[in-house]
Chain A
Amino acid sequence: MSALLFALLVWLAAWALNVWLAGSPVAKTRFGKALVPLIFGATLLVLWEGLVRGLGIAPVILPAPSAIAAKIATSLPMLWQDFAQTILKGAIPGFLIGSGAAFLTAVAIDRSPFLQRGLLPIGNFVAALPIVGLAPILVMWFGFGWESKAAVVVVMVFFPMLVNIVAGLQASERMQRDLMATWGASYLQTLVKLRLPAALPFVFNGLKIASTLALIGAIVAEFFGSPTFGMGFRISTEVGRLGLDMVWAEIAVAALAGSLLYGIVALIERWMTFWHPSQRH
């Protein structure tokens, strides 16, 4: 019980520290921006450790962060192999192919409101096919390797990207389009110089959502058939073996990978859409 109280005290202290940091000039620096969430995250871990020790939770139900850290330290090669299989070979190719396909489709149907009115509802339908049902079918079609996982990711990522890019292509204002027309700009010039840049905030919104979907899609797809490595494989088998510390180790890797991906997208977004109001904070 004392462990729990200690953890709670630490959490409160850290929260006060964070409030002070957020209001101070440190918050404006890069260092400050990284420090605050790190403090928050660290205190969450302390709280977790306190809960597990204080309430005596069995390790087969919820392992303590210290046990998970120990597992990570001893299983780095396995974690790396799983990461390479699921993310580098499954999620990322799927993400790129799906986003690329969505982009081309959006530009293709941009000229034709007829196609838009037809394709978007149908795309809605396809996107609504639940992954739990699609994954076994795609594994059956594409085999057990990374191809089926990438296929699942493509299907998951395609429609959110399409919706966002189409919305983005319509985001440029009437006045701006008229201005381009007064300058005698062709369709392609208007597209490249006005409408695509104006669509970027929406595109990045979609990319951020897609990055997390890609990760989850690849992992879930592995539940339905995979070679004997990969993050989804590891998670599903270790749950069955009560190796919960390994499950959480994989979850930690997934979270790290997903955050990196999201961070990269956000960084590119900041660089390319510096002019949007939401970037000024």
Chain B
Amino acid sequence: MKKLLTAAALAAMATAASAEDVKLQLKWVTQAQFAGYYVAQAKGYYEEEGLNVTILPGGPDIAPTQVMAGGGADVMVDWMPSALAAREKGLPLVNIAQPFASSGMMLTCMADSGIKEPKDFADKTLGVWFGGNEYPFLSWMSQLGLKTDGSAGGVTVLKQGFNVDPLLQKQAACISTMTYNEYWQVIDAGITPEQLVTFKYQDMGVATLEDGLYVLEDKLADPAFQETMVKFVRASMKGWKYAEANSDEAAMIVLENDQTGAQTEVHQKRMMGEIAKLTAGSNGALDVAAAEKTVATLMAGGSDPVITKAPEGAWTSAITDKALAE
């Protein structure tokens, strides 16, 4: 018995000792938007691959790109526009996986503001988040030919805070919403869908790729790090597919991990349901056509394009090729 226990203890220590540490920086606070990673952790998928993953939640004052630059994380979840802009600024980020196949970004307007089509945006006040989420909006406005500096005939842009009050308090005609979060907050607040006019970026043809996994190019050159990332992506996608199939359980796992205690079951279950729609159809591999479309959208920004030249080497399929080969 003693021998068995010692052997087991040694084996456990050995696996623990050889477990690789991975730090994942999320784009925002703990919520079902990142369920795949939490599920992978809770269900032991990371452990199976020999990884010891620390999930770092993001927040309002945290720029995932800066955390990566400072070496605070090995891999981050971010949107492609933000990563491409950072790449052009000198931070060589590379997309290694794309769990989100479609975009959940929308512009939601009150019907009584008189807006029926995008050209009605002129001379209205629109709310946008910044911190990396403004790029799709700016590109779209540029393509519509609407100036964003508040001049006549253009749109007045408000930097939204982190909730939907500007719409409810009539401070903006439209606000940026995600299908999985803010839109439902507006509904929860008592507004009915008939009182809203919603424009989905996906339907307007200006959608950009959202949550993807990014690492630094120089780290990727190290074969050991590549191996770690292959395992990480494999386990994460397993987590995502499980979350898609078992959204309520996934929501509860996310809730367990929320250390602020402020999230609610209702919110997270609903969010998970919506997120599953966005991850459906992706096995983690980046759809290069979609990536190129994102690049085109960003470069079509008229006088103020988000990126000025087509990025080279901004994504790689090397990791997903190996991860999904099994």
Contact = CB atoms under 8 A, between A and B. Distances in A.
B158 A240 contact: no
A139 B159 CA distance: 11
Given A60-B91, A237-B134, A242 B66 contact: yes
B98 to A, nearest CB: 21
B311 interface: no
B89 to A, nearest CB: 5
B158 A242 contact: no
Contacts of A197: none
Interface string B209-243: 00000000000000000000000000000000000
B70 A144 contact: no
Interface stretch (A96-104, A156-164, A220-228, A258-266): A220-228
A228 B89 contact: no
Contacts of B82: 240-241
A153 B308 CA distance: 40
B297 interface: no
Contact of B165 (A140, A226, A228): A140
A60 B131 CA distance: 15
Specify which of A143, A225, A227 lies most central, judged by the most chain B CB atoms within 10 Å of its CB: A225
Contact of B150 (A136, A227, A240): A227
Given A225-B161, A225-B166, A61 B134 contact: no
A225 B91 contact: no
Given A58-B69, A239-B131, A227 B91 contact: no
A105 interface: no
Contacts of B130: 233, 236-237, 240
B89 A227 contact: no
Contacts of B89: 60, 241-243
What secondary structure prevails in chain A residues at the interface with B? loop
A118 interface: no
A239 B60 CA distance: 11
A226 B158 contact: yes
A228 B148 contact: yes
B41 interface: no
A61 B158 contact: no
Nearest to A141: B169
Among A59, A222, A225, A240, the one with the most B-chain Cβ atoms within 10 Å of its Cβ is A240
Contacts of A236: 60-61, 130-131, 159
Interface in B35-80: 60-61, 63, 65-66, 69-70
Nearest to A241: B85
A233 B90 CA distance: 23
A243 B63 CA distance: 11
A124 B66 CA distance: 37
Contacts of A240: 63, 65, 82, 130-132
Given A61-B69, A242-B89, A139 B161 contact: yes
Q: How large is the interface on B (under 10, 10 to 19, 20 to 34, 35 or more residues)?
A: 20 to 34
B263 interface: no
Contact of B159 (A140, A227, A239): A227
B157 interface: yes
Contacts of A241: 82, 85-86, 89, 132
Nearest to A143: B171
A242 B171 contact: no
Interface string A40-65: 00000000000000000011110000
A237 B131 contact: yes
Interface in B116-149: 130-132, 134, 148-149
B63 A144 contact: no
B185 interface: no
Contact of A144 (B65, B66, B158): B158
A61 B70 contact: yes
Contacts of B134: 237
B160 A225 contact: yes
A60 B69 contact: yes
B320 interface: no
21 contacts: A58-B69, A58-B90, A136-B162, A224-B161, A225-B160, A225-B166, A226-B159, A227-B156, A227-B157, A228-B148, A228-B149, A228-B157, A228-B158, A236-B60, A236-B130, A236-B159, A237-B134, A237-B159, A239-B66, A241-B86, A241-B89
Given A139-B161, A140-B165, A227-B150, 16 more contacts: A58-B90, A58-B91, A60-B65, A61-B66, A61-B69, A136-B162, A136-B163, A228-B150, A237-B134, A237-B159, A239-B61, A240-B82, A241-B86, A241-B132, A242-B69, A242-B86
Interface of B: 60-61, 63, 65-66, 69-70, 82, 85-86, 89-91, 130-132, 134, 148-150, 156-163, 165-166, 169, 171
Interface of A: 58-61, 136, 139-140, 143-144, 222-228, 233, 236-237, 239-243
